[in-house]
């Protein structure tokens, strides 16, 4: 039985990846940071809460990260832990830098010293492209991050590349574009919109305040994207891969799809609130997943319309039960 360690197992991707690895017969360990309230709801939603070995630890605490690597004796480590909300990174730039940046070194160092055969996946991000330097971004596009989050993740990306080149570790970096699901955090724009549309439809909310609705994102489904993570660690050689759909859509159009699904016109409810604009915006992201398709045989299976409908259906049911 293969052993895997997932950091960030209580997050959206952690829950989908845990399900995928358990279905493949892995023993799954999860590094979980101490929280004062329940953080395992996504694992319950995926029906995997009881099947995971939980290890206490925090990415900011090198000792706990090291202990988790020794205790789990992993064949594969998936580093998904992060302060992942871009907007919050301007208010917590140092924490974001430590967890999303230096935390990666804590993990790579533990692997180098105690488990050098372990294969490593780093959750890198299209936010590293920021102020885009090419119309469609791929593995060769120069980076230009636009937030403390993007900067911290760029450190995490390059330290992964550096440990691969310096110590011959099987360390891969997945440069994933936005991916969503019914398990997406409520602060991200897709879930904020599907939750609000469900509440408005059911008379529990009157309007929805948003920021820059002209921003464009390349949105895919988290369930598809965790397959790409796993595929990267099954390759003979570690490498970097862009994972995206190759389609970009405005926040405005995503709102239209969500509200349409419940028979409403988003224009009647969406208000623009400057409080949700960012100090520096990433106006557009559009990925080129050709390498992932060629080398990994990976393709996205879910288009945006299907994804938003899936999220709307889940939110309509959840809001009705409240
Ligand atoms: P998420 O839902 O925000 O999950 C983040 C996870 O990290 C949670 O389990 C969280 O634990 C954990 N975490 C936060 N701080 C930690 C710390 N100091 N020590 C240990 N664990 C900590 O994020 P996601 O959407 O699943 O994304 C997974 C990863 O992919 C992240 O690294 C993100 O930056 C990256 N990424 C995401 C996307 C996307 O569109 N979703 C795209 C590209 C890259 P709690 O639940 O206890 O807070
Ligand atoms: O949903 P978002 O908050 O996601 P963002 O900033 O693109 O980051 C997500 O994707 C990254 C990959 O590119 C990940 F690395 C990161 O961890 C995270 O998962 O915002 C999307 C867009 C932005 O342009 C934002 O300005 O939507 C715009 N937006 C407009 N109004 C809003 C809102 N975003 C949020 N969260 N809330 C709004 O009211």
Q: pLDDT at position 291, please?
A: 99
* Residue 93 CB partners (closer than 8 Å, separation 6+): 148
Q: Which of 7, 105, 118, 127 is catalytic?
A: 127
Q: What is the pLDDT of residue 21?
A: 99
Q: Which two tokens stand for residue 199?
A: 């509440």
pLDDT tens, residue order, the chain (322 aa) = 999 999 999 999 999 999 999 999 999 999 999 999 999 999 999 999 999 999 999 999 999 999 999 999 999 999 999 999 999 999 999 999 999 999 999 999 999 999 999 999 999 999 999 999 999 999 999 999 999 999 999 999 999 999 999 999 999 999 999 999 999 999 999 999 999 999 999 999 999 999 999 999 999 999 999 999 999 999 999 999 999 999 999 999 999 999 999 999 999 999 999 999 999 999 999 999 999 999 999 999 999 999 999 999 999 999 999 9
Q: What is the pLDDT of residue 14?
A: 99
Give the pLDDT confidence score for residue 235 in this predicted structure. Answer: 98
pLDDT value at position 101? Answer: 98
Centre of ligand 2 to C-alpha 278, Å, is 10
| Catalytic residue chosen out of the listed positions 149, 163, 225, 266 | 149
Segments of the chain assigned E as strands: 3-7, 27-32, 53-56, 76-79, 119-125, 170-176, 179-180, 208-210, 216-217, 220-221, 240-243, 249-250, 270-272
Asked if residue 302 lies in contact with residue 223, where contact means CB atoms within 8 angstroms, the answer is: yes
49 catalytic? Reply is no
pLDDT for the residue numbered 103: 98
- State the maximum Cα–Cα separation within the chain, in Å, rounded to a whole number: 58
- Convert the pLDDT of each residue in 28-75 to its tens digit: 999 999 999 999 999 999 999 999 999 999 999 999 999 999 999 999
Q: Which of 13, 36, 240 is the pocket-test mutation for ligand 1 (most atoms within 8 Å of CB)?
A: 13
Pocket probe for ligand 1: among 82, 160, 192, the residue whose CB has the most ligand atoms within 8 Å is 82
């Amino acid at each position: 039985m293969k052993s895997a360690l997932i950091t960030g197992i209580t997050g959206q991707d952690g829950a989908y990846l845990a399900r995928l690895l358990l279905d493949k017969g892995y023993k799954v360990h999860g590094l979980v940071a101490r929280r004062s309230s329940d953080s395992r709801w996504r694992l319950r939603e995926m029906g995997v809460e009881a099947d995971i070995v939980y290890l206490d630890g925090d990415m900011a605490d090198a000792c706990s990260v090291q202990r988790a690597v020794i205790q789990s004796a992993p064949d594969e480590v998936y580093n998904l832990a992060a302060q992942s909300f871009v907007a919050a990174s301007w208010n917590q730039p140092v924490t974001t830098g430590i967890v999303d940046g230096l935390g990666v070194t804590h993990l790579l160092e533990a692997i180098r010293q105690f488990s050098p055969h372990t294969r490593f996946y780093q959750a890198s991000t299209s936010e590293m492209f920021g102020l885009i330097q090419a119309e469609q971004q791929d593995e060769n596009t120069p980076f230009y991050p636009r937030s403390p989050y993007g900067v911290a993740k760029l450190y995490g990306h390059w330290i992964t590349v550096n440990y691969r080149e310096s110590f011959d570790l099987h360390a891969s970096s997945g440069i994933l574009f936005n991916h969503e699901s019914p398990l997406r955090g409520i602060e991200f724009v897709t879930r904020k919109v599907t939750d609000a549309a469900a509440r408005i439809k059911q008379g529990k909310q009157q309007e929805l305040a948003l920021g820059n609705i002209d921003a464009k994102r390349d949105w895919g489904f988290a369930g598809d994207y965790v397959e790409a993570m796993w595929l990267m660690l099954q390759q003979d050689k570690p490498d970097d891969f862009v994972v995206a759909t190759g389609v970009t859509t405005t926040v405005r159009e995503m709102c239209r799809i969500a509200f349409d699904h419940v028979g409403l016109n988003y224009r009647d409810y969406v208000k623009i609130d400057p409080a949700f604009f960012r100090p520096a915006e990433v106006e557009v992201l559009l990925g080129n997943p050709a390498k992932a398709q060629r080398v990994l045989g990976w393709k996205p299976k879910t288009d945006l319309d299907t994804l938003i409908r899936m999220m709307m259906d889940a939110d309509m049911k959840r809001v009705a039960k409240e």
